[in-house]
Amino acid sequence: MQVAECAFRGYRSLRRIRFPLRRLNVFVGDNGVGKTNLYHGLQMLQAAAAGTLGRSLAAEGGLESASWAGEHKRGEKAQLVFEAKLGDQGEYAYEVTVGFRAPVEAAFALEPIIRSETLTFHGARRPEVLLERKNQRAWARDEAGVKQDIEAELLPSETALAELKDSARFPDIDVVRRCLLQWRFYHGFRTDADSPLRRPCLAVTTPTLASDGADLAAMFATLAHIRQDTADLAVAIEDAFPGARLIVPEVGRTATFAVSFADFPKREFSAAELSDGTLRFLALAGALLGYRLPPFLALNEPETSLHPDLVPALARLIARAAMRSQVWVVTHSAKLASALEDAAGSRSIRVIKRDGETWLEGLTNFGEFDDDDRDD
């Protein structure tokens, strides 16, 4: 299921925003306008599915740091709300609200508390609530459509979406949770001397690259020796480094890779020897050309540390991935945004500040874009 729409409220610079998504979504803007907050908002939805939402917010400095820092309207609660509509027509809508601990609640003083959750199905003639949670009490609709109280009392920091793991009893909840857990976020790859990208990794079939790229060599080996199809990968490398060739040896306990270049055709450069930019491009290729791409794939400033000449090749790589997966790109590079328009015909969305809050240029207060001819 792709993401049809997302909405965030009270989270950092996201005071209140709702917007639709397309197959390829490119968000471009200056530093400090809140592009990364949009990206992190999606990560919080995945954290809710994983049962780590409270921990993720605590790692960001707690609600004091993660909450909207501007003025609140009279009577407006200091709460964080994360919402996503999944499916081609947004059939499933999941929303989770996080707030501060009340004095009587069994939680640490500054711990983020799950206040409410709802999962609603909109594919029928009328919306049908599948899951509803208020504080620590919750109910869910089973496979027969009957409401079932959740007998075990949820801890204040636990999400019902993560805890209800009976796929036979609650199949719709299981589908939504698994969909969110399959998302991948690529927020830069380490390329220092101790980076896992530069070391051999365990030889295990790897259809999807890990978020830190630690299994890149295994992912390349999967394409070369299990899938036996590296055609797209070879095209991407030739596009970026004319005359270069990726070398993936047969694996033993570990997997490795190397690259030969046109200037030194008989010399194989191991991962430990590659430049930071070359290694980073290969990691992006691994993320975007995996045997099995995730249903949703997010890149945060993928152009970082790449030579400007590699940007068009990166854009073509992203456009190719968007044919197999829904892709979200955050960038401050106008060159990358322009190259993506050329490669995929997808218009970028400019992220701006409006009265101190993050906003999207052309977005109306009703959560729609005012240019009806936006590309799908």
Backbone phi, psi, residue 93, to 5° = -120, 120
Residue 27: predicted pLDDT: 97
Residue 67 bridge partners (DSSP): 11
Q: What is the pLDDT along the chain (376 residues), one digit of tens a residue?
A: 899 999 999 999 999 999 999 999 999 999 989 999 999 999 999 999 999 998 899 888 888 889 997 877 766 677 999 999 999 887 999 999 998 876 556 566 668 889 999 999 998 788 999 999 998 889 999 999 999 998 777 888 889 999 998 899 999 999 999 999 999 999 989 999 999 999 999 999 999 999 999 999 999 999 999 999 999 999 999 999 999 999 999 999 999 999 999 999 899 999 999 999 999 999 999 999 999 999 999 999 999 989 999 999 999 999 999 999 999 999 999 999 999 999 998 889 999 999 999 999 999 999 999 875 554 4
Is 53 inside any structural domain?
yes
Residue 228: predicted pLDDT: 94
Q: Are strands 254-255 and 349-354 parallel, antiparallel or unpaired?
A: unpaired
Is 268 inside any structural domain?
yes
Domain extent for 314? 187-344
Domain count for the chain, please give it: 2
Residue type, 58: A
Do 87 and 214 lie in one domain? The reply is no
Burial (CB count within 10 angstroms: exposed 0-12, middle 13-18, buried 19+), residue 213: buried
Do 354 and 289 lie in one domain? The reply is no
Is 367 inside any structural domain?
no
Burial (CB count within 10 angstroms: exposed 0-12, middle 13-18, buried 19+), residue 253: exposed
Residue 151: predicted pLDDT: 72
63 CB-side CA count, 13 A: 21
pTM of the full predicted structure? 0.91
Is 369 inside any structural domain?
no
Do 135 and 8 lie in one domain? The reply is yes
Backbone phi, psi, residue 158, to 5° = -95, 140
Is 368 inside any structural domain?
no
Do 92 and 197 lie in one domain? The reply is no
CB 325 within 8 A of CB 295: yes
Residue 103: predicted pLDDT: 58
Is 289 inside any structural domain?
yes
Q: Distance between CA atoms of 245 and 235, rounded to whole angstroms?
A: 10
Do 108 and 209 lie in one domain? The reply is no
Do 259 and 236 lie in one domain? The reply is yes
CATH of the domain at 280: 3.40.50.300
Residues 6+ apart with CB under 8 A from 91: 1, 85, 121, 122, 123
Do 143 and 177 lie in one domain? The reply is yes
Burial (CB count within 10 angstroms: exposed 0-12, middle 13-18, buried 19+), residue 252: exposed
Do 101 and 166 lie in one domain? The reply is yes
Do 143 and 230 lie in one domain? The reply is no
